[in-house]
Amino acid sequence: YEETTLFKGYPAPRPWYPFTGNVYQEILPAAGAGYPYSIKALFLHKGTPALSVPGAQAQIDILTDLDKVPLFFADDIVIGETSMYADYLFPDLSIWERWGTPHPTPDVQTRTSKVRQPMVAPIPETVTVFGEEMPISMEAVMLAIAERLNLPGYGKDGFGPGQDFTRPEDYYLKMVANLAAGDKPGETVPDADAQEMELFQKARAHLPSSVYSVERWKKAVGEKWWKKVVYVLNRGGRYEDFDKAYKGKYMGHAFSGLLNFFVEPVAQARQSTTGEYFSGLPRFEPVRDASGKVVSDEEFPFQLITFKEIFGGQSRTISNYWSQLFLTPENSVLMNSKDAERLGLEEGDQVRLVSRTNPRGVWQLRNGQERPVIGKVLPMEGVRPGVVIVSWHYGHWAYGASDMVIDGKVVKGDPRRGTGLCPNVVMRIDDHLQNVCLTDPIGGSSSFYDTRVKVIKV
């Protein structure tokens, strides 16, 4: 903040985050506030802030304000809780149909680089971009924009003489070649042998020509790297041998650098909205808003926390109701048995969650509809008294859960996709900023665990 032309002393209108990037929950609120700048268009892919962000009502309110977000277009595999508001909505490919290099989780103790690649024929129709037929997708939309604007680095010789960039695999296969090469000399993978090459082609024989062509894929990386790329693709990525995970009883990749309990760069920085220096040492602090004021909602007796079911995950996984129909068709409001008894609640009773941020306990969808934050109570001994828990990935209102009108035809929703409740809309908004959830000023994390609520029998 201090090094920008926007510096005008303290406090800054909104927080700056010098130690982190991609502060997801702040994108729309910052645009809504016009700080550090307003936006003219929003492009959304693989995200749903209208559902997934704590205090999500503010995200919906900004998204539906045409003065703050004049143009909104998205790529999505469904009409989702956020993409439903888009002015232009393009189809996208699911994880089984597309390319990607998803990162591994930190608990993997060996060097790992995963490669996502097309496994099944895509559902979306094909389009023609740069004279090439391909499934419509986020990448196809981006390439089409590049073609329309005649952007450099795309089209014929986009990667250099003889290296066109006209298709998604022109980009992704070069990433796979990088993985095949390794980080240092001598780390290059071997060539796939004749048996592997045959296996590779047979395993992809079912894919349409709009997705797979051995000649086209080979051209994207060249003769020198092609068999090495096949070696990596056949394995779904590149993985270090498991015996490298540990050296005896010690970790094979032990942390060998200096471990700083005092972090000097943090101690030398100021929080932009208060002007106070951060602590360079770990310390316990109460929950605060962006102005430094302590957040205390003691008149709301329950601490709300959340988690993800083992069979769930992100926003999208609940829609696989075939696997969940016989597991947990809907989530519940989990609470301690003594708390339930004190409130006169029994298993299966309907309750509404309300908070200071959302005293009515409703999602206001800004399309003439509301969705209450109501669920069934499940008393148990495994919850600390004074705490209520609601799992994530339930409570959809879009994503195939509701009827949609497309080209004048009603596409019926499936109510099984909309069971249960999503608690995010009652989660605490920052009183100082008014349009974003409480946020860690150093790490930039959204607060999913600092909201207090009332549990009201319906």
Per-residue pLDDT reduced to its tens digit, 122-134:
999 999 999 999 9
Dihedral sign for Cα atoms in the order 180, 182, 185, 186: negative
**Torsion angle defined by CA atoms of residues 342, 346, 349 and 352, in that order, rounded to the nearest 10 degrees:** 20
Q: 4 Cβ partners below 8 Å, 6+ apart?
A: 36
Q: What is the mean pLDDT of residues 395-408?
A: 92
Distance between CA atoms of residues 134 and 143, nearest Å: 11
Nearest to residue 415, comparing CAs of 435, 437, 434, 398? 398
What does the pLDDT read at residue 105? 84
Report the predicted TM-score, pTM, of the whole model to 2 decimal places: 0.92
pLDDT in tens, 286-304: 999 999 999 999 999 999 9
pLDDT band at 198 (very low <50, low <70, confident <90, very high): very high
Distance between CA atoms of residues 129 and 219, nearest Å: 18
> Does position 138 have pLDDT exceeding 70, yes or no?
yes
What does the pLDDT read at residue 305? 98
Amino acid code (one letter) for 362:
V
pLDDT band at 104 (very low <50, low <70, confident <90, very high): confident
Strand, helix or coil for residue 43 = strand
DSSP 8-state class, residue 360? T
**Torsion angle defined by CA atoms of residues 290, 293, 299 and 303, in that order, rounded to the nearest 10 degrees:** 50
Amino acid code (one letter) for 137:
S
What does the pLDDT read at residue 314? 61
Look at the chain and count its residues.
458
Q: What is the mean pLDDT of residues 220-248?
A: 96
User: Cis peptide leading into 15, omega within 30 of 0?
Assistant: no
Distance between CA atoms of residues 26 and 8, nearest Å: 21
> Does position 320 have pLDDT exceeding 90, yes or no?
no
Distance between CA atoms of residues 440 and 357, nearest Å: 18
Q: 79 Cβ partners below 8 Å, 6+ apart?
A: 89, 398, 399, 400, 404
What does the pLDDT read at residue 321? 63
What does the pLDDT read at residue 375? 98
DSSP 8-state class, residue 439? B
Amino acid code (one letter) for 297:
D
Q: What is the mean pLDDT of residues 385-400?
A: 93
The residue to which tokens 């969808």 are assigned:
365
What does the pLDDT read at residue 409? 96
> Does position 335 have pLDDT exceeding 80, yes or no?
yes
Record the tokens describing residue 428, joined without a space: 């605490």
pLDDT band at 325 (very low <50, low <70, confident <90, very high): low
Q: 108 Cβ partners below 8 Å, 6+ apart?
A: none
Decide: 377 and 332 in contact? Cβ < 8 Å. yes
What does the pLDDT read at residue 326? 72
Dihedral-angle region of residue 51 (phi above 0 means left; psi in -120 to 50 means alpha; beta otherwise): alpha
Query: For residues 377 and 253, which has the higher predicted lDDT (pLDDT)?
Result: 377
The residue to which tokens 């519940």 are assigned:
332
What does the pLDDT read at residue 257? 85
Query: For residues 258 and 1, which has the higher predicted lDDT (pLDDT)?
Result: 1
